[in-house]
Amino acid sequence: MRALTVRPNAKDSLEVSDLPEPVPEEGQILVGGLAVGVCGTDREIVEGSYGWAPPGRDRLVLGHESLGRVRQAPPRSGFSAGDLVVGVVRRPDPVPCGACARGEFDMCRNGQYTERGIKEIDGYGSQMWCVETDYAVKLDAGLERVGVLLEPASIVAKAWEQVERIGGRSWFEPERMLVTGAGPIGTLAALLGVQRGLEVHVLDRVTEGPKPSLIQALGATYHTEDADKVMQSVVPDVVIEATGAAKVVFEAMSGNARYGIVCLTGVSPKGQKLDVEAGSINRGIVLENDAVVGSVNANLRHYQQAAALAKADLPWLERLITRRVPLDRAGEAFTAQDDDLKVVLTLDPAGDPA
Ligand code: BGC
């Protein structure tokens, strides 16, 4: 079978090569891969600045935003041949820490968790893959064209859960939210904001391409002014930050509403330096009971919440996928194009690449 592999920590090592087909172990499902999404983390791994190969090996199968179709499943597992499935990214650390022991591996405390396609376990970027039944999520049959968005949607479901739990420490009826960054995470965060009945604003740099109309189609407002101006005009109760741009992060922390909650989801490159007026930022956070929280990854509960994706408008979701590239031309998926939002690699040779 064909698989997409990289040598973590080496630059430009991306390769599509033949690997033996996997054989499911007890409790595992055998899946025919349909698609994997490409995200910033994959790009960092390909650039050689992130990622870990499995112990004793130098190459890792890339891909953590998965979608496949069950070929073979253990009896009474709840899965059967033909089901659409997505594999969960993270596995608990082996110790396990208190959080991992409770199924909250997204909150792992000792950092020894592993992640498919990212940290020490092969990913889903191959024509066939296996996954433990406990780490597979069944999707509605109608989600074949968009199910690959489930993993990014799980990240956003977790971020929203953090916001709501933190909000729940006092009276909390947020009215306005700002999403910074209209990439796939930001766009999905805006969707969940609209579904919760908030007035949603989205800030991004680009004025052209698919982003403005996708955001407007949600009934949300698209902004391209500087972050400080947008913060002043919106005064958001909730900010979901999805750019990782240091300046935007600090604007979001400074200009929000009283009892504002800022949830940071964008992983910044290291080394961004900024002159900030730290005194006023701290003063504002303290005097307004604001909260700033980081959020990464997702546990099974968040995947299940994200599976409610089926409730969203499918043609709208499909517009988030702006390019589908066949696996054998994987390099093209990693070369950014102007109007890219979510780029997806198609794995099924019989599938529709268009
Ligand atoms: C993935 C997460 C993962 C994180 C850090 C993200 O791109 O979506 O599941 O935890 O990278 O490795």
CA distance 10 to 47: 7
Residue 350 pLDDT exceeds 90: no
Residue 95 pLDDT exceeds 80: yes
Residue 115 in contact with ligand 1 by CB distance below 6 A: yes
- Residue 195 neighbours by CB distance under 10 Å: 14
Residue 299 in contact with ligand 1 by CB distance below 6 A: no
Q: How far is the CA of 42 from the centre of ligand 1 (A)?
A: 9
Q: Is residue 191 part of a domain?
A: yes
- Position 312 scores a pLDDT of 85
Q: Is residue 146 part of a domain?
A: no
Q: Name the E strands within the chain.
A: 2-6, 15-18, 28-38, 60-61, 65-72, 84-87, 90-91, 114-116, 120-121, 128-132, 136-139, 176-180, 199-203, 221-223, 238-241, 261-264, 291-294, 321-326, 342-346
Residue 118 in contact with ligand 1 by CB distance below 6 A: yes
Rg (the chain; Cα; Å): 20
Type of residue found at 171: W
Shared domain check, 130 and 6: yes
Q: How far is the CA of 87 from the centre of ligand 1 (A)?
A: 13
Q: Is residue 162 part of a domain?
A: yes
By alpha-carbon position, which residue is closest to atom 7 of ligand 1? Answer: 41
CA distance 44 to 33: 23
CB 176 within 8 A of CB 199: yes
Q: Is residue 148 part of a domain?
A: no
Q: Is residue 209 part of a domain?
A: yes
Residue 149 pLDDT exceeds 90: yes
On average, the pLDDT of the chain sits at 96
Cα of 73 vs its chain's centroid, Å: 27
- Position 99 scores a pLDDT of 98
pLDDT in tens, 208-252: 999 999 999 999 999 999 999 999 999 999 999 999 999 999 999
CA distance 237 to 198: 10
CA distance 109 to 101: 11
Shared domain check, 204 and 171: yes
CB 142 within 8 A of CB 134: no
- Position 311 scores a pLDDT of 80
Percent with pLDDT over 70 in the chain: 99
The number of helix segments (H) and strand segments (E) in the chain equals 11, 19
Mean pLDDT to the nearest integer, 12-32: 97
CA distance 182 to 243: 8
pLDDT in tens, 34-68: 999 999 999 999 999 999 999 999 999 999 999 99
Find the domain containing 340 and state its range. 2-139+313-346
| H or E stretch at 284 | helix 278-287
Q: In this structure, what CATH number is given to the domain that contains residue 133?
A: 3.90.180.10
- Position 310 scores a pLDDT of 76
Q: How far is the CA of 297 from the centre of ligand 1 (A)?
A: 5
- Position 354 scores a pLDDT of 41
Q: How far is the CA of 112 from the centre of ligand 1 (A)?
A: 14
Shared domain check, 287 and 335: no
Please choose from 149, 150, 296 the residue to mutate so as to test ligand 1's pocket, defined by most ligand atoms within 8 A of CB: 296
Strands 90-91 and 114-116: antiparallel
The reply to whether the predicted model has a pTM over 0.85 is yes
Q: Is residue 98 part of a domain?
A: yes
- Position 348 scores a pLDDT of 84
CB 113 within 8 A of CB 76: no
Percent with pLDDT over 90 in the chain: 95
Ligand 1 atom closest to Cα of 298? Answer: 9
Shared domain check, 270 and 186: yes
CB 94 within 8 A of CB 33: no
Domain total for the chain?
A: 2
By alpha-carbon position, which residue is closest to atom 3 of ligand 1? Answer: 297
Please choose from 121, 265, 297 the residue to mutate so as to test ligand 1's pocket, defined by most ligand atoms within 8 A of CB: 297
Contacts of 130 (CB under 8 A, 6+ apart): 22, 23, 24, 25, 28, 29, 30, 31
Tokens of 139: 């999707």
Give the length of the chain. 354
Shared domain check, 282 and 163: yes
Q: In this structure, what CATH number is given to the domain that contains residue 231?
A: 3.40.50.720
Shared domain check, 274 and 173: yes
Contacts of 173 (CB under 8 A, 6+ apart): none
Mean pLDDT to the nearest integer, 125-130: 98
Q: Confidence class of residue 70 from pLDDT cuts 50, 70 and 90? A: very high
Residue 297 in contact with ligand 1 by CB distance below 6 A: yes
Residue 120 in contact with ligand 1 by CB distance below 6 A: no
